[in-house]
Amino acid sequence: MGRAKKVVLAYSGGVDTSVCIPYLKQEWGVEEVITLAADLGQGDELEPVREKALKSGASQSLVINATDDFVKDYAFPAIQANALYENRYPLSTALARPLIAKLLVDAAEQYGADAVAHGCTGKGNDQVRFDVSIAALNPNLKVLAPAREWGMSREETIAYGERYGIPSPVKKSSPYSIDKNLLGRAIEAGPLEDPWTEPPEDIYEMTGAIADAPDQPEYVEIGFEQGIPVSLNGQAIGPAALIQQLNGIAGAHSVGRIDMIENRLVGIKSREVYETPALSVLIDAHRDLESLTLTADLLHYKRGIEETYSQMIYNGLWYSPLRDALDAFVKKTQERVTGTVRVKLFKGVAAAIGRKSANSLYATELATYGAEDRFDHRAAEGFIYIWGMPTRVWSQKQRSM
Ligand code: ARG
């Protein structure tokens, strides 16, 4: 008896996930491997990937385009929550995992599989996100992770694949580990493992170099409805198209590069480089519109929720009662976050330089230093007297001791 009879495997077409196919069958006694490649707008041709899975021994090879769901159901809630892990990483990879897990579970249920599998190693966050998401969606499914157990080096993995007709990578394989989708690219390993080394320019694809960025700034107007971006420069635009177009605009100005030392859930610090042009701009613009439309206490309280929300995405807890409850809070806060933000893109920087909303709480007659000022200056005195009371009492006590 093998570990499972029929398995749905998350498939990318790379060496590791390809080798998983014969490995599951030969070493773990799996009878049938169905592969699933998710199209999340990464821009790769997936027909060759589909064929490669069949050549590598899959009984069926599924390719599912889920780009729209990815943006609507995963990226947009994250934007509403201004989700940034450790204040910087907009979670472009982390957000894709619960969606891929859902596609795997749906396929397993549809094809009567008793397990799902993925090619993650034991060192990263993605294994956690897959395993926990799958458990949340269907706790009866087994999760198999061959690469976590097989203990083969890169060379051994390639050699194993060759025994089962999996061609070794034609071009000298890149030293980097790269994950990409419509939201961004994550680049790690190779020379980046030295935290002191500047990322070489050739690792970037979605963003141009600052040196090559236009010498003139570009302005882009982003329209939001209840915290969701719905238009670019006054034109209504669908979710995936909006991200794609804004990736192009912002990327040309070298906006959205992030180089950071990041704390993985498994306790390892790693050096990660990201490029997330549209997502970075949208989170900035969204936060700016919130500062115009939300009351101070709500805005400040939401900051704490955002921190927890971001950690939950990073730590693989997308499908959890807490994330769900926090999401309800975030949704409620977005009811009046409708308006337009004007962003200036220039030489690697995206800055909100204008914002407007029918729900604006900005009151010119209170803020102005001009003649129209309606603020009661004398009321400030009594306010400060009471506000400062505890501090005054404390200070007097100190002196008398
Ligand atoms: N560190 C990021 C995360 O945990 C990206 C991981 C990307 N994976 C990769 N193979 N490069 O979300």
Give me the tens of pLDDT residue by residue for the chain, a chain 401 residues long.
Answer: 679 999 999 999 999 999 999 999 999 999 999 999 999 999 999 999 999 999 999 999 999 999 999 999 999 999 999 999 999 999 999 999 999 999 999 999 999 999 999 999 999 999 999 999 999 999 999 999 999 999 999 889 999 999 999 987 766 678 899 999 999 999 999 999 999 999 999 999 999 999 999 999 999 999 999 999 999 999 999 999 999 999 999 999 999 999 999 999 999 999 999 999 999 999 999 999 999 999 999 999 999 999 999 999 999 999 999 999 999 999 999 999 999 999 999 999 999 999 999 999 999 999 999 999 999 999 999 999 999 999 999 999 999 98
- Residues making up the chain, counted from first to last: 401
CA of 255 to the centre of ligand 1 (A): 20
Buried b (16+ CB within 10 A) or exposed e, 295-329: eeeeeeebeebbbebbebbbbbbbbeeebeebbee
Token readout for 199 is 């990322």
**Which of the following is catalytic: 39, 50, 92, 97?**
97
**pLDDT value of residue 169:** 76
Token readout for 130 is 């897959």
Token readout for 289 is 């519109």
Q: What atom in ligand 1 is closest to the CA of residue 126?
A: 4
92 three-state secondary structure: coil
Q: How far from 282 is each of 240, 289, 343, CA to CA, in Å?
A: 13, 10, 10
Residue 203 near residue 190, CB atoms below 8 Å = no
Q: What atom in ligand 1 is closest to the CA of residue 178?
A: 11
To the query of whether residue 88 is one of the catalytic residues in this protein, the response is no
**pLDDT value of residue 154:** 86
Task: Tell me the chain's radius of gyration from C-alpha atoms.
Answer: 25
Instruction: Please give the Cα distance from 42 to 184 (Å, whole number).
Output: 8
**Residue 260 — φ and ψ, nearest 5°?**
-145, 160
Q: Using N-to-C axis directions, what is the helix angle for 296-314 and 277-293, rounded to 10°?
A: 150
Identify which of 42, 89, 125 to mutate to test ligand 1's pocket (most ligand atoms within 8 A of the CB). Answer: 125
Q: Which residue owns the Cα nearest ligand 1 atom 11?
A: 178
Instruction: Please give the Cα distance from 269 to 282 (Å, whole number).
Output: 27
Instruction: Please give the Cα distance from 337 to 329 (Å, whole number).
Output: 14
**pLDDT value of residue 171:** 67
CA of 197 to the centre of ligand 1 (A): 19
Handedness of CA 37, 42, 47, 51 (dihedral sign): negative
To the query of whether residue 68 is one of the catalytic residues in this protein, the response is no
**pLDDT value of residue 401:** 85
Token readout for 190 is 């190779």
Handedness of CA 119, 277, 85, 202 (dihedral sign): positive
**pLDDT value of residue 1:** 63
143 three-state secondary structure: strand
Identify which of 91, 179, 310 to mutate to test ligand 1's pocket (most ligand atoms within 8 A of the CB). Answer: 179
User: Same CATH fold, 183-356 and 6-177?
Assistant: no
Protein residues with CB under 6 Å of any ligand 1 atom: 93-94, 125, 177-179, 186, 188, 262, 272
Question: Any idea which architecture 6-177 has in CATH?
Answer: 3-Layer(aba) Sandwich (3.40)
Token readout for 129 is 């996100």
To the query of whether residue 177 is one of the catalytic residues in this protein, the response is yes
For the chain, the straight-line distance linking the first and the last C-alpha, in angstroms and rounded, comes to: 80
Question: Any idea which architecture 183-356 has in CATH?
Answer: Alpha-Beta Complex (3.90)
Q: Which residue owns the Cα nearest ligand 1 atom 8?
A: 179
Return the closest-CA partner of residue 43 out of 180, 204, 216.
180
Alpha helix ranges (H) inside 56-190: 67-69, 76-80, 96-111, 126-137, 146-149, 154-163
**pLDDT value of residue 395:** 97
Domain spans, the chain: 6-177, 183-356, 369-400
Cβ-count burial of 348 within 10 angstroms (0-12 exposed, 13-18 middle, 19+ buried)? Answer: middle
**Which of the following is catalytic: 3, 73, 114, 177?**
177
To the query of whether residue 16 is one of the catalytic residues in this protein, the response is yes
**Residue 296 — φ and ψ, nearest 5°?**
-60, -45
CA of 94 to the centre of ligand 1 (A): 7
Residue 281 near residue 246, CB atoms below 8 Å = yes
* Cβ neighbours, 10 Å, residue 241: 14
